[in-house]
Amino acid sequence: MSPDTLISQTTDSVSAQSNSAEPETATTPSSAMGIEQQPTSNTDPFDTDEFDQGVMQTYGRFPIALERGHGCRVWDTDGRAYLDFVAGIATCTLGHSHPSIVEAVTDQIQRLQHVSNLYYIPLQGELANWLTANSCADSAFFCNSGAEANESAIKLARKYGHTRLGIEEEPIIITAKSSFHGRTLATVTATGQPKYHKGFTPMVRGFHYVEYNNTASLEAAIAELNAHGPRVAAVMLEPLQGEGGVNPGNLEYFKAVREICDRENILLMLDEVQVGMGRTGKLWGYENLGIEPDVFMLAKGLGGGIPIGAMLCKASADVFDKGDHASTFGGNPFVCRVGMTIAKFIEQGDLLANVQARGEQLRAGLNAIAAKYPEHLVGARGWGLINGLVLRDDEAKAPIDVVKAALDEGLLLVPAGTRVVRYVPPLIVSEKEIDEALTVTEQVLAKIFGG
Ligand SMILES: Cc1ncc(COP(=O)(O)O)c(C=O)c1O
């Protein structure tokens, strides 16, 4: 299958109506799409002040209001188009209003959207079985977000520590500096970035931080923490640190971490919330590292924009009993139908091959651009379609300057860490759209750095 047909590939039996609504070739360059004529639903201009009165000010927002999308493109309330290389921050796996998803949610909402986990939910079982058949895990717990998936893993690790390792007091979970695991109290504590803790003390007990990609740091921490008997229950890491700056895990490091966890009989838990479900060009981030975790956590791409999270584990790590954990919405028929739609799309098509090819194209293009500005840029790094353009440490401009300038030119990007501009387009992105993003990036950098 050609990547250009990815937008129209369907897995469920898409109705004739959905298929006929497919002209939309999200792969066509914006100039050829007649995007200036895209209708908007608003007659009045969007009022940001009115929005800000009602919505808590927890986000720094860019001054555009998005109201519709198709493929890799979104439109604001003024009808202006943007090429979306943010994708809900690595979430919209199949882009926007993909016919497979439209068909699945339309059909499912007419059948059954939600029932309690007090009853069997066939679609939940189907998704769990697909995930376990296609990974190293044996079972899944479903929830609604990345933070909640990580919370589930944290609870699992604590119970594992108490019941399997005989830790009576406080089981400790080791996480990495510069990591990101979420914003609930436990997951923000797990996040090894003090700026996220500021104002929210006391943090949750039972976490300890080590340097990422540094075996000696982990060995030293375990030796110290376990000096008078077992206290460490788990090590929790991202296969590639996303928010921390698109920083890929090192193969040798992860091999060593696996060996250490086996030696100490502690859990290796991988936070795959940003990289799981195909974003790296492999189904799971851990496949890039040649190891298997005991536990891994998913969200973002699993639902392609419909909120779902999951914690998966091997049978040897599953210490949960009935009543230990729950989530009202977790794994309801609606979200699991979408999850299965994406799963089948990956299984039946060339999506992962597209992620690999487009990722290579993007990194090569970004490296070629970076080579023109060696005094400002280091180059590109990443896996598949999670990539970062890295600014030099001594560069006065920040990633946000590049992101703002790109937005002015109709390209959506997002910073990661303090030095990186992140590119995380939908996984269906086409060759032409990557070229288009590179062209805009080049224009923007020429404006910012001169040249
Ligand atoms: C690696 C990782 N873990 C956890 C989270 C938190 O996910 P959520 O915002 O769905 O709670 C994120 C969000 O960016 C993430 O990148």
Mean pLDDT confidence for 396-416 = 98
pLDDT in tens, 240-255: 999 999 999 999 999 9
Q: How far is the CA of 16 from the centre of ligand 1 (A)?
A: 37
Residues of the chain with CATH 3.40.640.10: 112-348
| Ligand 1 and 303: CB distance under 6 A | no
Q: How far is the CA of 158 from the centre of ligand 1 (A)?
A: 21
Which of 145, 150, 180 to mutate to test ligand 1, by most ligand atoms within 8 A of the CB atom? 180
- Residue 202: asked if its preceding bond is cis (omega within 30°), the reply is yes
Q: How far is the CA of 389 from the centre of ligand 1 (A)?
A: 21
Query: Closest Cα to residue 263, out of 235, 239, 297?
Result: 235
CATH of 112-348, one of 3.40.640.10, 3.40.50.150, 3.40.50.720, 3.40.50.300: 3.40.640.10
Mean pLDDT confidence for 222-230 = 97
- How far apart are the C-alpha atoms of 422 and 402, rounded to whole Å? 10
- Strand order through the sheet with 81-84: 66-70, 73-76, 81-84, 411-412
pLDDT in tens, 316-372: 999 999 999 999 999 999 999 999 999 999 999 999 999 999 999 999 999 999 999
Confidence of residue 44 (pLDDT cuts 50, 70, 90): confident
pLDDT of residue 450: 87
Residues of the chain with CATH 3.90.1150.10: 3-97+351-449
Contact present, 277 and 301 (Cβ < 8 Å): yes
pLDDT of residue 183: 98
Mean pLDDT confidence for 79-104 = 98
Residue 300 falls in the annotated catalytic set: yes
Confidence of residue 20 (pLDDT cuts 50, 70, 90): very low
Q: With 0-12 CB in 10 A as exposed, 13-18 as middle and 19+ as buried, what is 274?
A: buried
Measured from the Cβ of residue 326, the count of other Cβ atoms closer than 10 Å reads: 13
**Average pLDDT of the chain?**
92
Q: Assess whether pLDDT exceeds 80 at residue 37.
A: no
How far is it between the farthest Cα atoms of the chain? 70
| Ligand 1 and 274: CB distance under 6 A | yes
Catalytic residue, candidates 300, 318, 334, 345: 300
Contact present, 212 and 256 (Cβ < 8 Å): no
Q: With 0-12 CB in 10 A as exposed, 13-18 as middle and 19+ as buried, what is 46?
A: middle
Mean pLDDT confidence for 221-225 = 98
Q: How far is the CA of 281 from the centre of ligand 1 (A)?
A: 19
pLDDT of residue 40: 61
Confidence of residue 39 (pLDDT cuts 50, 70, 90): low
pLDDT in tens, 183-202: 999 999 999 999 999 999 99
Confidence of residue 144 (pLDDT cuts 50, 70, 90): very high
Q: How far is the CA of 322 from the centre of ligand 1 (A)?
A: 27
From the alpha carbon of 89, which atom of ligand 1 is closest?
A: 14
Is pTM, for the whole model, over 0.85? yes
pLDDT in tens, 57-73: 999 999 999 999 999 99
Fold (CATH) for 3-97+351-449? Aspartate Aminotransferase, domain 1 (3.90.1150)
Contact present, 173 and 141 (Cβ < 8 Å): no
| Ligand 1 and 271: CB distance under 6 A | yes
| Ligand 1 and 35: CB distance under 6 A | no
- How far apart are the C-alpha atoms of 435 and 441, rounded to whole Å? 10
Query: Closest Cα to residue 72, out of 12, 22, 10, 29?
Result: 29
From the alpha carbon of 299, which atom of ligand 1 is closest?
A: 10
**Which single residue is written with the structure tokens 């110290």?**
224
Q: How far is the CA of 4 from the centre of ligand 1 (A)?
A: 30
The share of the chain scoring above pLDDT 70, in percent, equals: 90
From the alpha carbon of 275, which atom of ligand 1 is closest?
A: 1
Mean pLDDT confidence for 76-99 = 98
pLDDT of residue 41: 59
User: Residue 235: beta bridge partners?
Assistant: 174, 268
Mean pLDDT confidence for 106-129 = 98
Nearest-CA residue for atom 7 of ligand 1: 146
Which of 59, 151, 274 to mutate to test ligand 1, by most ligand atoms within 8 A of the CB atom? 274
| Ligand 1 and 238: CB distance under 6 A | yes
Confidence of residue 45 (pLDDT cuts 50, 70, 90): confident
Q: Assess whether pLDDT exceeds 70 at residue 307.
A: yes
Q: With 0-12 CB in 10 A as exposed, 13-18 as middle and 19+ as buried, what is 228?
A: exposed
- How far apart are the C-alpha atoms of 43 and 130, rounded to whole Å? 45
Q: Assess whether pLDDT exceeds 70 at residue 35.
A: no
Confidence of residue 33 (pLDDT cuts 50, 70, 90): very low
Contact present, 277 and 131 (Cβ < 8 Å): no
Nearest-CA residue for atom 3 of ligand 1: 181
- Residue 230: asked if its preceding bond is cis (omega within 30°), the reply is no
